[in-house]
Chains A and B, each alone.
Chain A
Protein backbone atom coordinates (compact mmCIF):
# COMPACT_ATOMS: atom_id res chain seq x y z
CA UNK A 1 0.00 0.00 0.00
CA UNK A 2 1.24 3.47 -0.79
CA UNK A 3 1.69 5.94 1.99
CA UNK A 4 0.04 9.16 0.82
CA UNK A 5 0.86 10.93 4.07
CA UNK A 6 4.52 11.57 3.63
CA UNK A 7 4.78 10.99 -0.07
CA UNK A 8 4.36 14.64 -1.00
CA UNK A 9 7.07 15.78 1.33
CA UNK A 10 9.64 13.17 0.72
CA UNK A 11 12.66 14.24 -1.20
CA UNK A 12 13.06 10.78 -2.67
CA UNK A 13 9.62 11.07 -4.19
CA UNK A 14 9.57 11.45 -7.94
CA UNK A 15 6.69 13.89 -7.95
CA UNK A 16 8.72 17.04 -7.26
CA UNK A 17 10.81 16.11 -10.26
CA UNK A 18 7.59 15.87 -12.23
CA UNK A 19 6.71 19.44 -11.26
CA UNK A 20 10.14 20.64 -12.29
CA UNK A 21 10.31 18.80 -15.58
CA UNK A 22 8.46 21.26 -17.87
CA UNK A 23 10.56 24.22 -16.75
CA UNK A 24 13.79 22.25 -16.83
CA UNK A 25 13.03 20.99 -20.31
CA UNK A 26 12.37 24.56 -21.37
CA UNK A 27 15.66 25.76 -19.92
CA UNK A 28 17.44 22.81 -21.46
CA UNK A 29 16.03 23.32 -24.94
CA UNK A 30 16.19 27.11 -25.03
CA UNK A 31 19.19 27.90 -22.88
CA UNK A 32 21.55 24.96 -22.44
CA UNK A 33 21.32 23.69 -26.02
CA UNK A 34 21.69 27.12 -27.67
CA UNK A 35 24.66 27.96 -25.43
CA UNK A 36 26.32 24.63 -26.25
CA UNK A 37 25.64 25.37 -29.88
CA UNK A 38 27.58 28.62 -29.56
CA UNK A 39 30.39 26.66 -27.98
CA UNK A 40 30.52 24.32 -30.97
CA UNK A 41 29.99 27.07 -33.51
CA UNK A 42 33.10 28.85 -32.24
CA UNK A 43 35.21 26.01 -33.57
CA UNK A 44 33.78 25.94 -37.07
CA UNK A 45 35.02 27.84 -40.07
CA UNK A 46 33.17 30.68 -41.66
CA UNK A 47 31.75 29.82 -45.05
CA UNK A 48 32.51 31.87 -48.13
CA UNK A 49 29.09 33.46 -48.31
CA UNK A 50 28.76 34.04 -44.60
CA UNK A 51 27.45 30.57 -43.87
CA UNK A 52 29.12 28.00 -41.71
CA UNK A 53 31.58 25.49 -43.00
CA UNK A 54 31.65 22.40 -40.84
CA UNK A 55 35.36 21.88 -40.48
CA UNK A 56 37.13 22.25 -37.16
CA UNK A 57 39.40 25.18 -36.56
CA UNK A 58 40.93 27.22 -33.76
CA UNK A 59 41.17 30.29 -35.95
CA UNK A 60 38.18 32.04 -34.42
CA UNK A 61 39.51 31.73 -30.89
CA UNK A 62 42.92 32.86 -32.10
CA UNK A 63 41.33 35.83 -33.83
CA UNK A 64 39.81 37.00 -30.53
CA UNK A 65 43.37 37.41 -29.26
CA UNK A 66 44.50 39.18 -32.39
CA UNK A 67 45.69 42.66 -31.30
CA UNK A 68 42.98 44.32 -33.37
CA UNK A 69 40.19 42.61 -31.48
CA UNK A 70 41.97 42.00 -28.20
CA UNK A 71 42.39 45.74 -27.86
CA UNK A 72 38.59 46.08 -28.03
CA UNK A 73 38.36 43.43 -25.36
CA UNK A 74 40.77 45.33 -23.10
CA UNK A 75 38.98 48.60 -23.74
CA UNK A 76 35.63 47.00 -22.86
CA UNK A 77 37.18 45.56 -19.73
CA UNK A 78 38.58 48.98 -18.84
CA UNK A 79 35.23 50.71 -19.27
CA UNK A 80 33.44 47.92 -17.42
CA UNK A 81 35.99 48.03 -14.59
CA UNK A 82 35.76 51.80 -14.24
CA UNK A 83 31.96 51.71 -14.27
CA UNK A 84 31.90 48.90 -11.73
CA UNK A 85 34.33 50.73 -9.44
CA UNK A 86 32.37 53.99 -9.54
CA UNK A 87 29.09 52.15 -9.05
CA UNK A 88 30.57 50.34 -6.05
CA UNK A 89 31.77 53.53 -4.36
CA UNK A 90 28.47 55.33 -4.91
CA UNK A 91 26.39 52.25 -4.19
CA UNK A 92 28.23 51.38 -1.01
CA UNK A 93 27.93 54.95 0.26
CA UNK A 94 24.21 54.95 -0.50
CA UNK A 95 23.66 51.54 1.10
CA UNK A 96 25.63 52.62 4.16
CA UNK A 97 23.54 55.76 4.43
CA UNK A 98 20.29 53.83 4.07
CA UNK A 99 21.40 51.36 6.74
CA UNK A 100 22.16 54.33 9.04
CA UNK A 101 18.60 55.66 8.78
CA UNK A 102 15.88 54.68 11.27
CA UNK A 103 14.87 51.05 10.68
CA UNK A 104 11.29 51.81 9.76
CA UNK A 105 12.31 54.10 6.89
CA UNK A 106 14.78 51.70 5.37
CA UNK A 107 12.45 49.50 3.28
CA UNK A 108 10.95 52.53 1.57
CA UNK A 109 14.33 54.13 0.88
CA UNK A 110 15.56 50.86 -0.53
CA UNK A 111 12.48 50.51 -2.66
CA UNK A 112 13.02 53.93 -4.19
CA UNK A 113 16.71 53.27 -4.69
CA UNK A 114 15.91 50.15 -6.68
CA UNK A 115 12.82 51.37 -8.49
CA UNK A 116 14.68 52.89 -11.48
CA UNK A 117 16.44 49.56 -11.98
CA UNK A 118 13.15 47.94 -12.88
CA UNK A 119 12.16 50.51 -15.45
CA UNK A 120 13.10 50.23 -19.10
CA UNK A 121 16.84 50.12 -19.77
CA UNK A 122 16.51 51.97 -23.08
CA UNK A 123 14.48 54.70 -21.46
CA UNK A 124 17.03 55.16 -18.69
CA UNK A 125 19.79 55.38 -21.27
CA UNK A 126 17.77 57.75 -23.42
CA UNK A 127 17.34 60.03 -20.41
CA UNK A 128 21.08 60.67 -20.57
CA UNK A 129 20.90 61.50 -24.26
CA UNK A 130 18.34 64.14 -23.31
CA UNK A 131 20.71 65.53 -20.68
CA UNK A 132 23.99 65.29 -22.56
CA UNK A 133 23.21 66.11 -26.18
CA UNK A 134 24.34 69.28 -27.93
CA UNK A 135 21.03 70.99 -27.31
CA UNK A 136 20.52 69.13 -24.07
CA UNK A 137 19.74 70.27 -20.59
CA UNK A 138 23.31 70.45 -19.34
CA UNK A 139 24.46 72.61 -22.23
CA UNK A 140 21.45 74.86 -21.75
CA UNK A 141 22.11 75.06 -18.05
CA UNK A 142 25.69 76.11 -18.71
CA UNK A 143 24.50 78.84 -21.12
CA UNK A 144 21.92 79.99 -18.62
CA UNK A 145 24.55 80.37 -15.93
CA UNK A 146 26.40 82.54 -18.39
CA UNK A 147 28.99 80.21 -19.83
CA UNK A 148 29.70 81.52 -23.33
CA UNK A 149 32.56 79.38 -24.52
CA UNK A 150 32.50 76.31 -26.65
CA UNK A 151 31.39 73.27 -24.69
CA UNK A 152 33.06 69.97 -25.41
CA UNK A 153 30.68 67.38 -26.76
CA UNK A 154 29.51 65.28 -23.87
CA UNK A 155 27.41 62.76 -25.72
CA UNK A 156 29.12 60.07 -27.79
CA UNK A 157 32.14 59.88 -25.55
CA UNK A 158 33.64 57.20 -23.37
CA UNK A 159 32.61 59.19 -20.30
CA UNK A 160 29.01 59.20 -21.46
CA UNK A 161 29.12 55.41 -21.73
CA UNK A 162 30.57 55.10 -18.22
CA UNK A 163 27.92 57.45 -16.82
CA UNK A 164 25.21 55.45 -18.55
CA UNK A 165 26.48 52.14 -17.20
CA UNK A 166 26.89 53.47 -13.65
CA UNK A 167 23.43 54.99 -13.79
CA UNK A 168 21.80 51.81 -15.01
CA UNK A 169 23.45 49.40 -12.61
CA UNK A 170 23.87 51.51 -9.47
CA UNK A 171 20.62 50.26 -7.90
CA UNK A 172 21.87 46.70 -7.99
CA UNK A 173 25.04 47.64 -6.12
CA UNK A 174 22.97 49.47 -3.51
CA UNK A 175 20.98 46.25 -3.01
CA UNK A 176 23.96 43.96 -2.84
CA UNK A 177 25.80 46.24 -0.38
CA UNK A 178 22.75 46.91 1.75
CA UNK A 179 22.19 43.23 2.50
CA UNK A 180 25.38 42.66 4.53
CA UNK A 181 25.31 46.20 5.98
CA UNK A 182 21.82 45.75 7.39
CA UNK A 183 22.77 42.42 8.95
CA UNK A 184 25.67 44.00 10.77
CA UNK A 185 24.68 44.40 14.38
CA UNK A 186 25.44 47.83 15.85
CA UNK A 187 27.03 46.16 18.88
CA UNK A 188 30.04 45.17 16.80
CA UNK A 189 30.81 48.75 15.82
CA UNK A 190 30.13 49.81 19.40
CA UNK A 191 32.59 47.23 20.69
CA UNK A 192 35.22 48.62 18.35
CA UNK A 193 34.61 52.16 19.61
CA UNK A 194 34.64 51.04 23.22
CA UNK A 195 38.03 49.54 22.57
CA UNK A 196 39.21 52.95 21.41
CA UNK A 197 38.80 52.70 17.66
CA UNK A 198 37.92 55.94 15.94
CA UNK A 199 34.89 56.07 13.65
CA UNK A 200 37.14 55.81 10.62
CA UNK A 201 39.17 52.92 12.06
CA UNK A 202 35.97 51.14 12.99
CA UNK A 203 34.71 51.51 9.48
CA UNK A 204 37.96 50.48 7.85
CA UNK A 205 38.83 47.59 10.15
CA UNK A 206 35.42 46.26 11.14
CA UNK A 207 32.51 47.33 8.95
CA UNK A 208 34.21 47.27 5.57
CA UNK A 209 35.81 43.80 5.85
CA UNK A 210 32.53 42.32 7.01
CA UNK A 211 30.66 43.74 4.04
CA UNK A 212 33.17 42.97 1.31
CA UNK A 213 31.06 40.15 -0.15
CA UNK A 214 28.30 42.64 -0.98
CA UNK A 215 30.78 44.89 -2.76
CA UNK A 216 32.25 41.92 -4.64
CA UNK A 217 28.80 40.82 -5.78
CA UNK A 218 27.98 44.33 -6.95
CA UNK A 219 31.30 44.75 -8.72
CA UNK A 220 31.07 41.45 -10.57
CA UNK A 221 27.49 42.10 -11.56
CA UNK A 222 28.19 45.56 -12.98
CA UNK A 223 31.37 44.39 -14.65
CA UNK A 224 29.74 41.39 -16.30
CA UNK A 225 26.74 43.33 -17.55
CA UNK A 226 28.91 46.22 -18.73
CA UNK A 227 31.56 44.29 -20.62
CA UNK A 228 28.96 42.56 -22.77
CA UNK A 229 26.73 45.58 -23.10
CA UNK A 230 25.84 46.75 -26.53
CA UNK A 231 22.93 49.13 -26.00
CA UNK A 232 24.79 51.75 -23.96
CA UNK A 233 27.87 51.96 -26.22
CA UNK A 234 25.57 52.07 -29.26
CA UNK A 235 23.42 54.89 -27.85
CA UNK A 236 25.79 56.92 -25.66
CA UNK A 237 29.01 56.02 -27.45
CA UNK A 238 27.38 56.66 -30.79
CA UNK A 239 29.56 54.30 -32.80
CA UNK A 240 32.65 56.28 -31.81
CA UNK A 241 34.14 53.10 -30.47
CA UNK A 242 33.18 49.52 -30.17
CA UNK A 243 32.82 47.35 -27.15
CA UNK A 244 32.68 43.56 -27.21
CA UNK A 245 28.90 43.56 -27.23
CA UNK A 246 28.86 45.69 -30.38
CA UNK A 247 31.45 43.47 -31.98
CA UNK A 248 29.37 40.36 -31.27
CA UNK A 249 26.30 42.13 -32.56
CA UNK A 250 28.09 43.04 -35.79
CA UNK A 251 29.28 39.48 -36.38
CA UNK A 252 25.74 38.22 -36.24
CA UNK A 253 23.77 40.97 -37.89
CA UNK A 254 26.06 42.75 -40.31
CA UNK A 255 29.43 41.03 -40.86
CA UNK A 256 27.80 37.62 -40.96
CA UNK A 257 30.71 35.83 -39.36
CA UNK A 258 28.84 33.70 -36.86
CA UNK A 259 31.75 31.46 -35.83
CA UNK A 260 33.82 34.51 -34.84
CA UNK A 261 30.83 36.03 -33.05
CA UNK A 262 30.42 32.74 -31.20
CA UNK A 263 34.10 32.71 -30.27
CA UNK A 264 33.83 36.25 -28.90
CA UNK A 265 30.82 35.31 -26.79
CA UNK A 266 32.61 32.24 -25.52
CA UNK A 267 35.52 34.29 -24.25
CA UNK A 268 32.97 36.67 -22.74
CA UNK A 269 31.31 33.79 -20.90
CA UNK A 270 34.70 32.50 -19.73
CA UNK A 271 35.54 35.92 -18.26
CA UNK A 272 32.13 36.02 -16.61
CA UNK A 273 32.47 32.55 -15.08
CA UNK A 274 35.95 33.37 -13.84
CA UNK A 275 34.67 36.50 -12.09
CA UNK A 276 31.70 34.70 -10.57
CA UNK A 277 34.01 32.04 -9.17
CA UNK A 278 36.25 34.75 -7.77
CA UNK A 279 33.23 36.30 -6.12
CA UNK A 280 32.23 32.93 -4.64
CA UNK A 281 35.72 32.65 -3.14
CA UNK A 282 35.41 36.12 -1.61
CA UNK A 283 32.03 35.20 -0.13
CA UNK A 284 33.45 31.95 1.22
CA UNK A 285 36.41 33.72 2.85
CA UNK A 286 34.16 36.31 4.43
CA UNK A 287 31.96 33.66 5.97
CA UNK A 288 35.12 32.18 7.49
CA UNK A 289 34.85 29.11 5.29
CA UNK A 290 32.60 27.63 7.94
CA UNK A 291 29.73 27.01 5.61
CA UNK A 292 29.28 23.33 5.01
CA UNK A 293 29.50 22.29 1.37
CA UNK A 294 26.02 21.63 0.13
CA UNK A 295 24.64 19.22 -2.38
Chain B
Protein backbone atom coordinates (compact mmCIF):
# COMPACT_ATOMS: atom_id res chain seq x y z
CA UNK B 1 0.00 0.00 0.00
CA UNK B 2 1.27 3.42 -0.96
CA UNK B 3 0.13 4.90 2.34
CA UNK B 4 2.62 2.92 4.33
CA UNK B 5 5.48 4.15 2.19
CA UNK B 6 4.24 7.70 2.54
CA UNK B 7 4.14 7.28 6.29
CA UNK B 8 7.72 5.97 6.25
CA UNK B 9 8.80 8.94 4.17
CA UNK B 10 7.15 11.25 6.72
CA UNK B 11 9.01 9.56 9.56
CA UNK B 12 12.25 9.94 7.63
CA UNK B 13 11.62 13.66 7.10
CA UNK B 14 10.87 14.10 10.79
CA UNK B 15 14.02 12.22 11.70
CA UNK B 16 16.19 14.39 9.46
CA UNK B 17 14.66 17.67 10.59
CA UNK B 18 14.79 16.81 14.28
CA UNK B 19 18.38 15.64 13.90
CA UNK B 20 19.24 18.94 12.24
CA UNK B 21 17.52 20.86 15.05
CA UNK B 22 18.88 18.90 17.97
CA UNK B 23 22.33 17.55 17.06
CA UNK B 24 24.12 20.93 17.28
CA UNK B 25 22.61 21.70 20.68
CA UNK B 26 23.24 18.18 21.96
CA UNK B 27 26.89 18.29 20.95
CA UNK B 28 27.24 21.52 22.88
CA UNK B 29 25.61 20.06 25.98
CA UNK B 30 27.70 16.91 25.70
CA UNK B 31 30.97 18.79 25.38
CA UNK B 32 30.17 20.93 28.41
CA UNK B 33 30.47 17.76 30.50
CA UNK B 34 33.65 16.55 28.79
CA UNK B 35 36.49 16.56 31.25
CA UNK B 36 39.19 17.38 28.72
CA UNK B 37 37.04 20.14 27.29
CA UNK B 38 38.08 19.38 23.72
CA UNK B 39 35.81 18.15 20.96
CA UNK B 40 38.52 15.73 19.82
CA UNK B 41 38.13 13.12 22.52
CA UNK B 42 35.81 12.14 25.33
CA UNK B 43 37.96 11.97 28.44
CA UNK B 44 35.28 11.42 31.02
CA UNK B 45 32.30 13.04 32.67
CA UNK B 46 32.99 16.12 34.71
CA UNK B 47 31.17 19.20 35.96
CA UNK B 48 34.40 21.12 36.45
CA UNK B 49 33.58 23.60 33.66
CA UNK B 50 30.46 24.56 35.56
CA UNK B 51 32.60 25.07 38.62
CA UNK B 52 34.89 27.31 36.59
CA UNK B 53 31.91 29.52 35.75
CA UNK B 54 31.27 30.16 39.42
CA UNK B 55 34.79 31.48 39.80
CA UNK B 56 34.56 33.81 36.84
CA UNK B 57 33.65 37.24 38.22
CA UNK B 58 32.81 38.69 34.81
CA UNK B 59 30.24 36.00 34.21
CA UNK B 60 28.74 36.27 37.69
CA UNK B 61 28.45 40.03 37.36
CA UNK B 62 26.83 39.68 33.93
CA UNK B 63 24.44 37.04 35.25
CA UNK B 64 23.45 39.37 38.08
CA UNK B 65 22.79 42.20 35.64
CA UNK B 66 20.74 39.91 33.43
CA UNK B 67 18.63 38.85 36.38
CA UNK B 68 17.93 42.47 37.33
CA UNK B 69 16.99 43.36 33.76
CA UNK B 70 14.81 40.28 33.31
CA UNK B 71 12.95 40.63 36.62
CA UNK B 72 12.10 44.30 36.23
CA UNK B 73 11.24 44.19 32.55
CA UNK B 74 9.08 41.12 33.19
CA UNK B 75 7.18 42.83 36.02
CA UNK B 76 6.56 45.97 34.02
CA UNK B 77 5.65 44.23 30.79
CA UNK B 78 3.35 41.74 32.52
CA UNK B 79 1.30 44.53 34.09
CA UNK B 80 1.24 46.70 30.99
CA UNK B 81 0.69 43.81 28.59
CA UNK B 82 -2.15 42.28 30.59
CA UNK B 83 -4.01 45.58 30.92
CA UNK B 84 -3.49 46.18 27.22
CA UNK B 85 -4.83 42.74 26.32
CA UNK B 86 -7.95 43.17 28.48
CA UNK B 87 -8.60 46.64 27.11
CA UNK B 88 -8.14 45.54 23.51
CA UNK B 89 -10.44 42.54 23.87
CA UNK B 90 -13.17 44.54 25.62
CA UNK B 91 -13.11 47.16 22.90
CA UNK B 92 -13.35 44.42 20.29
CA UNK B 93 -13.59 46.86 17.42
CA UNK B 94 -10.06 48.08 17.14
CA UNK B 95 -8.65 50.08 14.30
CA UNK B 96 -5.95 48.60 12.12
CA UNK B 97 -3.45 51.13 13.43
CA UNK B 98 -3.92 49.83 16.95
CA UNK B 99 -3.35 46.22 15.94
CA UNK B 100 -0.28 47.31 14.01
CA UNK B 101 1.22 49.21 16.94
CA UNK B 102 0.65 46.26 19.26
CA UNK B 103 2.03 43.74 16.78
CA UNK B 104 4.96 45.87 15.58
CA UNK B 105 7.45 45.15 18.40
CA UNK B 106 7.32 41.46 17.47
CA UNK B 107 8.35 42.06 13.87
CA UNK B 108 10.55 45.15 13.86
CA UNK B 109 14.12 43.93 13.26
CA UNK B 110 16.00 44.09 16.57
CA UNK B 111 18.76 46.12 15.05
CA UNK B 112 16.36 48.85 13.93
CA UNK B 113 14.69 49.16 17.33
CA UNK B 114 18.13 49.02 18.96
CA UNK B 115 19.60 51.91 16.98
CA UNK B 116 16.36 53.88 17.23
CA UNK B 117 16.44 53.63 21.01
CA UNK B 118 20.16 54.37 21.14
CA UNK B 119 19.63 57.49 19.03
CA UNK B 120 16.76 58.70 21.17
CA UNK B 121 18.49 58.08 24.48
CA UNK B 122 21.69 59.79 23.44
CA UNK B 123 20.00 62.75 21.75
CA UNK B 124 17.91 63.25 24.88
CA UNK B 125 21.05 63.04 26.95
CA UNK B 126 19.79 60.06 28.94
CA UNK B 127 22.60 58.28 30.74
CA UNK B 128 22.43 54.67 29.64
CA UNK B 129 22.72 51.60 31.83
CA UNK B 130 20.61 48.75 33.14
CA UNK B 131 17.57 51.03 33.43
CA UNK B 132 17.61 51.83 29.71
CA UNK B 133 17.91 48.13 28.89
CA UNK B 134 14.92 47.44 31.15
CA UNK B 135 12.61 50.03 29.59
CA UNK B 136 13.69 48.92 26.12
CA UNK B 137 13.02 45.26 26.85
CA UNK B 138 9.53 46.15 28.03
CA UNK B 139 8.72 47.30 24.48
CA UNK B 140 8.85 43.83 22.91
CA UNK B 141 8.01 41.93 26.09
CA UNK B 142 4.68 43.65 26.55
CA UNK B 143 3.73 42.70 22.99
CA UNK B 144 4.36 39.03 23.76
CA UNK B 145 2.54 39.12 27.11
CA UNK B 146 -0.37 40.84 25.40
CA UNK B 147 -0.47 38.16 22.67
CA UNK B 148 -0.52 35.31 25.19
CA UNK B 149 -3.21 36.93 27.36
CA UNK B 150 -5.31 37.86 24.35
CA UNK B 151 -5.22 34.26 23.15
CA UNK B 152 -6.73 33.26 26.47
CA UNK B 153 -9.30 36.05 26.33
CA UNK B 154 -10.58 34.73 23.00
CA UNK B 155 -12.11 31.82 24.87
CA UNK B 156 -13.04 33.96 27.85
CA UNK B 157 -16.63 33.70 29.01
CA UNK B 158 -17.67 37.33 29.26
CA UNK B 159 -20.96 36.36 30.90
CA UNK B 160 -19.11 36.00 34.20
CA UNK B 161 -18.24 39.66 33.92
CA UNK B 162 -21.91 40.45 33.43
CA UNK B 163 -22.75 38.25 36.39
CA UNK B 164 -20.26 40.13 38.52
CA UNK B 165 -21.73 43.46 37.41
CA UNK B 166 -25.26 42.18 38.09
CA UNK B 167 -24.17 41.31 41.59
CA UNK B 168 -23.01 44.87 42.08
CA UNK B 169 -19.31 44.50 41.42
CA UNK B 170 -17.58 47.67 40.35
CA UNK B 171 -15.39 47.69 37.26
CA UNK B 172 -12.25 47.59 39.32
CA UNK B 173 -13.55 44.81 41.55
CA UNK B 174 -14.70 42.81 38.56
CA UNK B 175 -11.30 43.16 37.01
CA UNK B 176 -9.47 42.25 40.19
CA UNK B 177 -11.70 39.49 41.48
CA UNK B 178 -13.06 37.92 38.31
CA UNK B 179 -11.09 38.71 35.16
CA UNK B 180 -7.52 38.60 36.51
CA UNK B 181 -7.92 35.29 38.43
CA UNK B 182 -9.38 33.55 35.38
CA UNK B 183 -6.54 34.90 33.27
CA UNK B 184 -3.86 34.05 35.81
CA UNK B 185 -2.42 30.99 34.03
CA UNK B 186 -2.06 32.99 30.83
CA UNK B 187 -0.57 35.94 32.70
CA UNK B 188 2.05 33.73 34.35
CA UNK B 189 2.74 32.03 31.03
CA UNK B 190 3.22 35.43 29.44
CA UNK B 191 5.49 36.53 32.27
CA UNK B 192 7.66 33.42 31.89
CA UNK B 193 7.90 34.04 28.19
CA UNK B 194 8.87 37.67 28.80
CA UNK B 195 11.46 36.54 31.32
CA UNK B 196 13.18 34.16 28.89
CA UNK B 197 13.03 36.68 26.06
CA UNK B 198 14.67 39.25 28.29
CA UNK B 199 17.33 36.86 29.58
CA UNK B 200 18.19 35.90 26.00
CA UNK B 201 17.96 39.28 24.34
CA UNK B 202 21.26 40.54 23.03
CA UNK B 203 21.09 43.24 20.37
CA UNK B 204 18.85 45.78 22.07
CA UNK B 205 20.71 45.33 25.35
CA UNK B 206 24.02 45.72 23.52
CA UNK B 207 22.99 49.09 22.06
CA UNK B 208 21.19 50.53 25.08
CA UNK B 209 23.65 49.47 27.79
CA UNK B 210 25.84 52.50 27.41
CA UNK B 211 29.62 52.56 27.46
CA UNK B 212 31.72 50.68 29.97
CA UNK B 213 31.48 47.24 31.41
CA UNK B 214 29.23 48.02 34.37
CA UNK B 215 25.95 47.07 32.70
CA UNK B 216 27.04 44.10 30.63
CA UNK B 217 24.41 41.37 30.44
CA UNK B 218 24.97 37.65 30.04
CA UNK B 219 24.29 37.56 26.28
CA UNK B 220 26.71 40.47 25.83
CA UNK B 221 29.29 38.55 27.82
CA UNK B 222 28.64 35.41 25.77
CA UNK B 223 28.96 37.36 22.52
CA UNK B 224 32.29 38.78 23.62
CA UNK B 225 33.54 35.31 24.62
CA UNK B 226 32.33 33.55 21.47
CA UNK B 227 34.29 35.91 19.25
CA UNK B 228 37.49 34.53 20.73
CA UNK B 229 36.63 30.98 19.89
CA UNK B 230 35.32 27.79 21.44
CA UNK B 231 36.07 27.13 25.09
CA UNK B 232 34.65 24.57 27.51
CA UNK B 233 33.46 27.42 29.77
CA UNK B 234 31.27 28.81 27.00
CA UNK B 235 29.88 25.32 26.44
CA UNK B 236 28.90 25.11 30.08
CA UNK B 237 27.51 28.63 30.16
CA UNK B 238 25.55 28.04 26.94
CA UNK B 239 24.10 24.85 28.38
CA UNK B 240 22.98 26.68 31.52
CA UNK B 241 21.41 29.56 29.59
CA UNK B 242 19.60 27.10 27.35
CA UNK B 243 18.30 25.12 30.32
CA UNK B 244 16.82 28.25 31.86
CA UNK B 245 14.90 29.00 28.66
CA UNK B 246 13.72 25.44 28.24
CA UNK B 247 12.50 25.13 31.83
CA UNK B 248 10.72 28.49 31.72
CA UNK B 249 9.09 27.61 28.42
CA UNK B 250 8.03 24.16 29.44
CA UNK B 251 6.39 25.74 32.49
CA UNK B 252 4.80 28.42 30.36
CA UNK B 253 3.47 25.81 27.97
CA UNK B 254 2.04 23.71 30.79
CA UNK B 255 0.28 26.66 32.34
CA UNK B 256 -1.09 27.94 29.13
CA UNK B 257 -2.62 25.17 27.06
CA UNK B 258 -3.40 27.76 24.43
CA UNK B 259 0.19 27.62 23.38
CA UNK B 260 2.84 30.13 22.48
CA UNK B 261 2.14 33.05 20.22
CA UNK B 262 1.86 31.94 16.68
CA UNK B 263 0.93 28.45 17.68
Chain A proximity mask over B197-219: 1 for CB below 8 Å, otherwise 0? 00110110001000000000001
Cα distance, A245 to B112, chains bound together (Å): 9
Partner of A90, one of B20, B123, B222, B249: B20
Report yes or no: A94 in contact with B14, Cβ–Cβ below 8 A.
yes
Chain A proximity mask over B126-166: 1 for CB below 8 Å, otherwise 0? 00000000011011001000100000000000100110011
The yes or no answer to B92 lying at the interface (CB within 8 A) is yes
Chain A proximity mask over B1-45: 1 for CB below 8 Å, otherwise 0? 010001100110110011011101101100100000011100000
Report yes or no: B31 in contact with A30, Cβ–Cβ below 8 A.
no
The yes or no answer to A58 lying at the interface (CB within 8 A) is no
Which of B37-95 touch A at CB < 8 Å?
Answer: 38-40, 79-81, 83-84, 86-88, 90-95
Q: Which residue of A lies closest to B219 (CB)?
A: A122
Other 19 A-B pairs with CB < 8 A, given A120-B219, A229-B109: A5-B165, A6-B165, A8-B165, A11-B92, A19-B84, A26-B139, A27-B139, A31-B139, A38-B115, A97-B14, A110-B263, A123-B28, A130-B230, A228-B111, A231-B203, A252-B115, A252-B118, A268-B112, A295-B94
Residues on the A chain within 8 Å of B203, using CB: 230-231
Partner of A261, one of B11, B91, B115, B263: B115
Report yes or no: B119 in contact with A41, Cβ–Cβ below 8 A.
yes
Interface residue range, chain A: 35 or more
Nearest 8 A/B pairs, CB to CB: A19-B87, A34-B116, A228-B109, A20-B87, A23-B84, A127-B24, A97-B10, A23-B80
The yes or no answer to B238 lying at the interface (CB within 8 A) is yes
Among A61-69, A146-154, A166-174, A284-292, the stretch that binds chain B is: A166-174
Q: Which residue of A lies closest to B80 (CB)?
A: A23
Q: Which residue of B lies closest to A107 (CB)?
A: B259
The yes or no answer to A212 lying at the interface (CB within 8 A) is no
Partner of B111, one of A23, A248, A276, A295: A248
Shortest Cβ gap from B231 to chain A (Å): 10
Partner of A230, one of B92, B111, B249: B111
Report yes or no: A130 in contact with B28, Cβ–Cβ below 8 A.
yes
Cα distance, A129 to B39, chains bound together (Å): 12
Report yes or no: A122 in contact with B222, Cβ–Cβ below 8 A.
yes
Residues on the B chain within 8 Å of A235, using CB: 223, 226-227
Known contacts A15-B171, A33-B120, A171-B21: A114-B142 contact under CB 8 Å:
no
Cα distance, A112 to B18, chains bound together (Å): 8
29 A-B residue pairs with Cβ-Cβ distance under 8 Å, sorted by A, are A4-B168, A5-B166, A6-B162, A8-B165, A9-B158, A9-B162, A18-B87, A19-B86, A19-B87, A26-B142, A27-B139, A30-B139, A31-B101, A34-B119, A115-B249, A116-B22, A119-B246, A122-B223, A123-B241, A127-B24, A140-B40, A225-B109, A228-B112, A245-B109, A245-B111, A261-B115, A269-B112, A272-B107, A276-B107
The yes or no answer to A60 lying at the interface (CB within 8 A) is no
Chain A proximity mask over B97-112: 1 for CB below 8 Å, otherwise 0? 0000110110111111
Report yes or no: A135 in contact with B94, Cβ–Cβ below 8 A.
no
Partner of B13, one of A15, A93, A295: A93
Residues on the B chain within 8 Å of A129, using CB: 226, 229-230
The yes or no answer to A126 lying at the interface (CB within 8 A) is yes
Report yes or no: B242 in contact with A123, Cβ–Cβ below 8 A.
yes
Known contacts A31-B104, A115-B246, A225-B109: A120-B24 contact under CB 8 Å:
no
Q: Which residue of B lies closest to A35 (CB)?
A: B116
Cα distance, A39 to B158, chains bound together (Å): 42
Residues on the A chain within 8 Å of B91, using CB: 11, 16-17, 20
Which of A102-118 touch B at CB < 8 Å?
Answer: 109-116, 118
Specify which of B162, B171, B229 lies most central, judged by the most chain A CB atoms within 10 Å of its CB: B171
Report yes or no: B161 in contact with A8, Cβ–Cβ below 8 A.
yes
Shortest Cβ gap from A266 to chain B (Å): 9
Q: Which residues of A contact B (CB under 8 A)?
A: 4-9, 11, 13, 15-20, 22-24, 26-28, 30-35, 37-38, 41, 90, 93-94, 96-98, 100-101, 109-116, 118-131, 133, 135-137, 140, 167, 170-172, 174-176, 199, 221, 224-225, 228-231, 234-235, 245, 248-249, 252-253, 258, 261-262, 265, 268-269, 272, 276, 294-295
Residues on the B chain within 8 Å of A128, using CB: 24
Residues on the A chain within 8 Å of B238, using CB: 120, 122-123, 126-127
Known contacts A30-B135, A31-B108: A16-B242 contact under CB 8 Å:
no
Report yes or no: A272 in contact with B263, Cβ–Cβ below 8 A.
no
Specify which of A35, A109, A245 lies most central, judged by the most chain B CB atoms within 10 Å of its CB: A35
Residues on the A chain within 8 Å of B88, using CB: 16, 20
Report yes or no: B104 in contact with A124, Cβ–Cβ below 8 A.
no
Residues on the B chain within 8 Å of A20, using CB: 83-84, 87-88, 91
Cα distance, A231 to B79, chains bound together (Å): 31
Shortest Cβ gap from A184 to chain B (Å): 15
Report yes or no: A199 in contact with B6, Cβ–Cβ below 8 A.
yes
Residues on the B chain within 8 Å of A6, using CB: 162, 165
Report yes or no: B263 in contact with A126, Cβ–Cβ below 8 A.
no
Shortest Cβ gap from B21 to chain A (Å): 5
Report yes or no: A231 in contact with B196, Cβ–Cβ below 8 A.
no
